[in-house]
A and B are shown apart, each in its own frame.
Chain A
Amino acid sequence: DTGVSQDPRHKITKRGQNVTFRCDPISEHNRLYWYRQTLGQGPEFLTYFQNEAQLEKSRLLSDRFSAERPKGSFSTLEIQRTEQGDSAMYLCASSLGSGPETQYFGPGTRLLVL
């Protein structure tokens, strides 16, 4: 069991650029979640997928954010026209979709927008 992986681990970009992050969940998990965490705060929910279907989106997810999970396996989170306020740790989690429903988190992608 390799756990949840995220790529890249760190990203520095200039304001106005687009960025894309990737998340690979635990292999048998059919639910995948994206959260955002800023310094001194707990993670805040952005969106989640069950298989390839995006079932819930937060009001935090502006039109500049889009997430996909095309084949129900890995997921991508794209931020268009980045702003300095987008600087944060972007966390991905996955869960089995049945039973205890524990969400297991990846190491995160740290984004810095200059």
Chain B
Amino acid sequence: EDQVTQSPEALRLQEGESSSLNCSYTVSGLRGLFWYRQDPGKGPEFLFTLYSAGEEKEKERLKATLTKKESFLHITAPKPEDSATYLCAERAQGGSEKLVFGKGTKLTVNP
């Protein structure tokens, strides 16, 4: 069964302190690896889609990378407004269109 594991569960950074979030997935024929940002009480906001190992995408201080078994979300020089829960999801195998989400990493950036 599809499974997505994110680590760490929570991460506290000082403003400007770069770090990475990890997402491990199990599906053998990946049909898309997705990153979302979720603020408290709101719906997930789309960030990136990655399809093949070696692919990278960037947006402002965020960069997502993909290997054959995991994805990383790199946060460079974070600001307090980057504080949120970051969710990783894979599209399920077997022709399903559903997304299978991890539990997320709660990021707090202190000023």
Count residues of B near A (Cβ-Cβ below 8 Å).
Answer: 23
Q: Is B45 an interface residue (CB 8 A)?
A: yes
CB closest residue in chain B, given A48: B97
CB closest residue in chain B, given A105: B43
A74-114 Cβ-contact flags toward B at 8 Å (1 or 0): 00000000000000000101010000111111111010000
Find residues 29-87 in chain A having any chain B CB closer than 8 Å to their own CB. 31, 33, 35, 40-45, 48, 55-56, 58
Q: Is B34 an interface residue (CB 8 A)?
A: yes
Tell me whether A102 and B49 are in contact (CB under 8 A): yes
Contacts A101-B32, A102-B34, A102-B49; A45 near B42 (Cβ below 8 A)? no
Contacts A104-B46, A108-B43, A110-B41; A45 near B34 (Cβ below 8 A)? no
Tell me whether B44 and A40 are in contact (CB under 8 A): no
Tell me whether B99 and A43 are in contact (CB under 8 A): yes
Between A and B, how many residue pairs show CB distances below 8 Å?
58
Tell me whether B41 and A31 are in contact (CB under 8 A): no
Inter-chain CA distance A1–B101, complex, in Å, is 26
Q: Which residues of A sit under 8 angstroms from B96, Cβ to Cβ?
A: 56
Q: Is B59 an interface residue (CB 8 A)?
A: no
Q: Which 4 residue pairs are nearest across A and B when measured between Cβ atoms?
A: A42-B101, A105-B43, A45-B98, A105-B44
A sample of 20 cross-chain residue pairs with beta-carbon separation below 8 angstroms, ordered by A number, consists of A33-B98, A40-B103, A41-B103, A42-B102, A43-B44, A43-B87, A44-B101, A45-B98, A45-B99, A48-B97, A56-B96, A91-B44, A93-B43, A102-B34, A102-B46, A103-B46, A105-B46, A106-B43, A108-B42, A110-B41
